[in-house]
Amino acid sequence: MRNAEKDEREMAERRERMLETGLRMFGEKGIEAVPMQAVADACGLGTATVYRYFNTKLQFVIAIGAKKWTEYFEEVEAEFVRRGGDMMTAAEELEFYLGAYILLYREHKEILRFNQDFNGFIAHEGATPEQLADYMRAILPFAKKFHFLYEKGLRDGTIRTDEPEQTMFTTTMHIMLAVCGRFAQGVVYPSGDPEDLTQELMILKRMILSRYVK
């Protein structure tokens, strides 16, 4: 008689291995360039086994995105709590979250490389809102945190709030994410060390703060 608890644990471990392998391979070569057969081979599994967990490549890619953004939000939130984030001013909180993207660049370039391909891939595949539901649930907390930051700024006056919230979100977090992604992919022509563009990101961070912090 099979041990159901052991089987469940092994299935979870296998799923985790597939997702991590997919992230690495897609980040290195691009999502379109890596067939599911290659992911299965790298995991030491048959393709049919992979498709028992994920019906399509689209489902697999969305699962990777949802997993990694959920994990990173939890990492950022734990650091926010550790630093006493509830006691930060809106300006301090803005600086913290901009810094979180720099940390993402320094320690999780594979997520940024994957993310650069993600939007194009799901658009090409015609992903529906229903198919993207788990992914949207994973990224929504980032927007919610910014909303709370903006509301705090309205109360404490430490940041400019004369622009609409969505405009500020786009010109801070979206721009920082986009630049981090391009740097992670190596699609710029740096004047210094191409392996580490942290200083350039720090300059961008200061530029954003100089615009919005009173």
pLDDT digits (tens, 9 = 90+) for 39-54: 999 999 999 999 999 9
The letter for the amino acid at 99 is: G
Beta bridge partners of 213: 159
Kindly indicate the confidence band of residue 84, based on its pLDDT and cuts at 50, 70 and 90. very high
DSSP assignment letter at 213: B
CB 39 within 8 A of CB 21: yes
pLDDT recorded at residue 1: 46
The position carrying tokens 């509830």 is: 86
Beta bridge partners of 159: 213
Domains and CATH numbers, the chain: 1-54 (1.10.10.60), 57-212 (1.10.357.10)
Q: Is 21 helix (H, G, I), strand (E, B) or coil?
A: helix
Report pTM.
0.90
pLDDT recorded at residue 189: 58
How do residues 101-112 score in pLDDT, each as one tens digit? 999 999 999 999
Closest CA to 95 of 182, 153, 181, 166: 153
CA distance 63 to 57: 10
Average confidence score pLDDT of the chain: 93
CA distance 214 to 210: 8
